[in-house]
Amino acid sequence: MSTNPNEVERHIFEADIVDDESPMRKSGWWRRSAEWWRRSSWVPAALRSRLAFRGAAFDAAAFTVYSPKLFLGAVWRGAVLAARAWRRWVGVRDYRDAAEHSEKLADKFIEIRELTLFRWKVTGAVALFAAAVHLVLWVCFGSLVLWTAAGVAAVTLAIVGRRKEGAPGRKPVLSGPRSFAWTMEPQVLVDAFRDAKLIGKDESLRLVERAARAGDGWAITVDLPATRKAADVVKNREALASALAVDEVQLIVERVRGRGGHAGRVFLWVADEDPYAGPPVRLPLLDADWWDAWRPIPFGLDARNRRVDLPLVWTSLLVGAIPRQGKTSAARIPAAGLVLDPYTRLYVFDGKGGKDWEAAEAVAHRFVCGDEVEHTTAVRDHLVELVAEVQSRYSRMSTLDDEICPESKITPAISRDSALGMPITAVIIDEVQVFLENSEREEVGGRKTTLGGYIADLLTYLARKGPAVGIVVILATQRPDSNTIPSRLRAVLGSRFALRVMDWRDSNIVLGEQMNTRGFDASALLTHHKGVGILRPDGDTDAGEEAVALTVRTYYMVNADWRSICERGRALREAAGTLTGHASGDDDQQAIDETAVVKALDTGTAATPEPENLPEPLAAVCHYLGPELNDREFVPTAELADALDLAPGVFAQQMGDLGCRPTRNRIPADDGETRRVRGYFTAEIRAAVERLATDEIGSDADGEDDQA
């Protein structure tokens, strides 16, 4: 791979996607015949394609191998059924039951006995007659008669004893261990869906794609019955895995979307063994001379061993996990791609204070490592600098013509133009809870807050307004709770990655509300699955369009590899002349108009007059509305719950505890009509804010009096 990004950019060609088949085979009578063959109802389904033929051949071979066993079993069941039927007939069970039902059994006793003796005589006569006929035929034609009679009897009994769909059959009290039918027989799959209560006992599945080997497992696509939803299958994946007798980590269930899918089409993949139990996989970026930050970065592998790429431009990333689950390693993977792009600018803040991020000091424009108050203060100052930079970028982009900046957003050309000075800038903070939980008192824009609360406001602004001008925010924390990361900040973080956490609540805080009810719970990950987590990509990515979330095993690189990447990134920046800030020995910050920064954060206006300890979700509501808190009269509950990524029921209960009760009000709809919706009057929200602010001022005054 070339080390010169400009040289790589010049080698771009225009091309069309073509098939491997010859054009002669795609035209004329051959194409029409092939199309008719594939679509005609006269052609058997097994002969319409090579895949279907291979599947039919496999089924035929399996049936041939198992047919003797199946035939003998059917004959035995038929003999048992025939013996039971004869016993009921000769015992006059039908007549006896009718007499018992009419309560005339005593009156019919003599008739029942006579009928029983008659049927025994008929049985004996038929047996003697059959024996005599067989004897005569055997004398005339030999043993061929006996073999023919035995064959006819066996076929008859096999037909009688064949298993019918839905028949319960005989079940032992204690059976052997269940095992998955690796041939993925359709009936096995249907029974599993019924046992998992995903379809009714009288419903079935429709086969879309025949079961086939895909990697180290089996893949199959089915359509659910009408009104059944694929989302319910994804949600109840654990129950389906139990019905299939496999571990849930071996079962991948996805809804098929796009042109070839619909709400009731499900793709299933069952691994032969635990797909995450192998050795760690080396990061592909270790072999790259450089990387383009505009390209998605290789992040890891899914259960089917397919590479998962993570876009960073236009979005942000939150990584959450308990200690020693690979959180720092997961955060360093996207950082490695940014380091290898000489046109990116890095703000690296490590709240742990170890050596995990020490190598990044050689390439970082701003670098802080430590958990003391002075380190938190430095992080605040650098973030204030970056907020001012965002404002400056918006101002400068407004003056560019439409050819350079066609959509009021940053482009690759803008980010690499040194004269414009707007490179892709990443803010990478490990152990972000160290900075967000700092309780040092601080006054910002005329209101009291804490140092951690101010940093949360700055990060919220960068995650909300920064992506359009090339700002990427990457946060990692080992304390994913609502007190550490406010909902106003979580709501604007695009991509989420949750490694193993303590319980489903922590998982939902990282991935989003009610994700556990949709089948994605990071607390269910196994302890020995290091580096394995649930990725909820940004909705703008290809992976986000196909699936809500997916389990990913991240790539792995040791500290020596990370140091090598940072050394390579420094060399690239020195060659390109883009080494700046701390890495170049220049830690001086330019003078910043903090008033403009405060105004951008809306902390100096009446729109957000809340104190620092304003409880959630009221603080998030004020930050979301901003100046609209004074301008708007009514805000629907659905809008607030969707913007803050909260469950409507939980949100309403929390707001009610703070004195804000939802009410119904009429609002204009898109069609010009009015409709009644539940929501909150902004006057009531402002009253709650002022009431809580007054309570805080009073408590502060009481504290000062006590100290005096």
Instruction: Note the CATH number of domain 186-271.
Output: 3.30.980
Q: What is the CA radius of gyration of the chain?
A: 36
The Cα 438–Cα 660 span in angstroms is 29
Lowest mean pLDDT of 13-22, 77-86, 211-220, 657-666, name the range.
Answer: 13-22
Answer whether residue 579 shows pLDDT above 90: yes
% of the chain beyond a pLDDT of 90: 23
pLDDT given for residue 415 in this prediction: 92
pLDDT given for residue 181 in this prediction: 54
Q: How many CB atoms lie within 10 A of CB 433?
A: 21
pLDDT given for residue 432 in this prediction: 92
The Cα 347–Cα 357 span in angstroms is 12
Judge contact between 5 and 295, C-beta under 8 A.
Answer: no
Q: How confident is the model at residue 182 (pLDDT cuts 50, 70, 90)?
A: low
Pure H helices in 185-250: 186-195, 230-235, 237-244
Q: How confident is the model at residue 284 (pLDDT cuts 50, 70, 90)?
A: very high
pLDDT given for residue 334 in this prediction: 95
Predicted confidence (pLDDT) per residue in 465-516, tens digit: 899 999 999 999 987 776 678 777 887 888 999 998 888 888 888 888 778 8
- Topology of domain 284-577 in CATH is Rossmann fold (3.40.50)
Whole-number average pLDDT of the chain:
79
Judge contact between 213 and 277, C-beta under 8 A.
Answer: no
Q: How confident is the model at residue 698 (pLDDT cuts 50, 70, 90)?
A: very low
pLDDT given for residue 577 in this prediction: 92
Determine the straight-line distance between the first and last CA of the chain, rounded to whole angstroms.
70
Lowest mean pLDDT of 10-14, 82-86, 149-153, 227-231, name the range.
Answer: 10-14
Predicted confidence (pLDDT) per residue in 7-44, tens digit: 444 444 444 434 444 444 445 677 677 767 766 667 77
pLDDT given for residue 344 in this prediction: 95
The Cα 468–Cα 464 span in angstroms is 9
Q: Could you state, in order of their start, the residue ranges of all structural domains in the chain?
A: 50-160, 186-271, 284-577, 605-707
Do 284-577 and 186-271 have the same topology in CATH?
Answer: no
| pTM across the whole model | 0.65
Q: How many CB atoms lie within 10 A of CB 275?
A: 22
DSSP state of 556: B
Question: Which stretch, 71-80, 137-146, 152-161, 215-224, has highest mean pLDDT?
Answer: 215-224
Answer whether residue 592 shows pLDDT above 80: no
The Cα 319–Cα 490 span in angstroms is 11
Which DSSP string corresponds to 331-395? HHHHHHHHHT-TTEEEEEEESS-SSSSGGGGGT-SEEEE--SHHHHHHHHHHHHHHHHHHHHHHH
Predicted confidence (pLDDT) per residue in 310-334, tens digit: 999 988 999 998 888 888 999 999 9
Which residues are CB-contacts of 151 (< 8 A; sequence separation ≥ 6)?
Answer: none
Lowest mean pLDDT of 35-44, 194-203, 300-309, 578-587, name the range.
Answer: 35-44
pLDDT given for residue 103 in this prediction: 56
